[in-house]
Amino acid sequence: MKFRQQIIAGCGVSAVLFFAGTSWLLAEDFENYPVINSNEVLSSDYLSSAYHRVESVDFDKGFYRFNVESDFGRYDITSLALLKKRVQEIRILGQAISQFDRQNEQLSEELRSELKVSGDSAVDIITSPFSTASKLAGQLTDNLEGTLAGEDPYISDSKPRYSYAEPSDPTTAAHKRNIAYQMRLDLYSSNSRVQSFLNSVANARSAGRVSAGVGLGDSFSATTRLSALDMQIGLKIKNKPLDELIQYNMQLLNMLKVQAEPAQAFIQQPHLSPGNRTVMLVYLNEIKQVNKLGSLIELALQADGEVMAMAYERLCKSLYHYHKDNEKFSAYFNFKGMPAVITDSRRIVFFEYQDLLTWTENNNRRFSELADHAERTGYSAWELVSLGGLTPLSTQGLQQLGFQVQADFLSRNSE
């Protein structure tokens, strides 16, 4: 189920009946291909800027896939959330280098040279999170070693994925954490250009080439709105070296009453960065009175790449906002791998994290089972909260099954 933006495709029709619970569903029109308009998926500032341009948009298995050309190389990005993060990173790097033009022209030229990469660079490898393990291993063997060798003392394919984020020198490490915080960059980003930039500027500060009070962060903090909770998380990551951040995360897991084995597995999950874990745990601890939140920690152990790591991070934020702004819930559980909560009024709410939910035969069957379970169990109502969008046909199909529906939930509540 994949197509390119340039191809205009419609919906396939399947005239069949499906049995759900005690009633037969009417014949359904199933969507073979959603029709994607990039102007509807992305606002103009995400489509292009002085530093990047989205070349094409595909759709595959519930997530958008983007090809992006930028001043710092080509990016192949899966998921809308990751695209927005990468565009923000590209924009910040471009603006920062422009500021260095006025403050340290030599460093500016060094950064421009270092951050420009070819189309077959490590950027494309690192930001392709749906690669299988075997395919990624082949990519690493063939390309990554040659691309990164000798380029940066803190990036090495022989180390764990996020180990390169912590420089060995404590002073340089502290500078790097401060720079990332000032500029609203993810200290543990998998984007190798972000890591190279942060390391280069941190090294320059350690060597006295750039003042620690250079003020790079002023313009970025003014244009990037963060909630009080996100500011708190940012300060924790800024102030804690990696080993202390890990201990802090363990404390948060203990407060959630997560058992020792899954807690340790969560800390060691290779696709969840220290940043992902901190965001998830801080948000969940805001609603720690909810029963069985440890089940979500266990679900997150299944993350198989950065797309799902971000999905679980956004899920934790969505649970917090739903509990705070919609209706309080008493318990969390996984129903056949689907995140769900039970509200105080005995409603069951399911959470979907795909970019776009289309009405396929499989989704019709899946949500029919959920509605049947909710009805048989005696819940007062059942609802689907989608972190992404819904096609008109999927909205219609869900409503026919009795679902109340909220789309783009997190975008409307916090992003």
Question: What letter would DSSP give residue 323?
Answer: I
Residue whose entry in the numeric block shows the structure tokens 């060597």: 207
Q: What is the pLDDT of residue 116?
A: 64
Q: Which residues of the chain have pLDDT under 50?
A: 1-27, 117-160, 213, 222
> Cα(309)–Cα(387) distance, rounded to whole angstroms?
14
- pLDDT number for residue 415: 59
The DSSP result for 96-151, as a single string, is HHHHHHHH-HHHHHHHHHHH---TTSHHHHHT-TT--HHHHHHHIIIIIHHHHTTT
For the chain, the structural domain boundaries read 81-223
β-strand 73-78 against 63-70: which pairing, if any? antiparallel
Q: Nearest to residue 374, comparing CAs of 410, 401, 394? A: 401
Q: Are strands 389-390 and 356-357 parallel, antiparallel or unpaired?
A: parallel
Return all residues near 320 (Cβ < 8 A) that are at least 6 apart: 229, 283, 284, 286, 287
Residue pair 245/274 in contact (Cβ under 8 Å)? The answer is: yes
So what's the pLDDT on residue 113?
Answer: 73
* pLDDT (tens digit per residue) in 132-185: 333 333 333 333 332 332 334 334 333 445 656 788 899 999 999 999 999 999
Distance in angstroms (rounded) separating the CA atoms of residues 353 and 296: 14
Residue 18's pLDDT is 42
Structure tokens at 122: 């490590």
Contacts 24+ apart (CB under 8 A), 112-121: 114/151, 114/196, 114/197, 114/200, 115/71, 115/72, 115/73, 115/193, 115/196, 115/197, 116/71, 116/72, 116/73, 117/72, 117/73, 117/147, 117/193, 118/73, 119/73, 119/74, 121/73, 121/74, 121/147
107: left (phi over 0), alpha (psi -120 to 50) or beta: alpha
Residue 385: the pLDDT is: 98
**What is the token pair recorded at 316?**
């934790």
Token reading at 229: 């909770």
CB 156, CB 166: distance < 8 Å? no
d(CA 361, CA 358): 10
List, for residues 76-96, the tens digit of each pLDDT value: 999 999 999 999 999 999 888
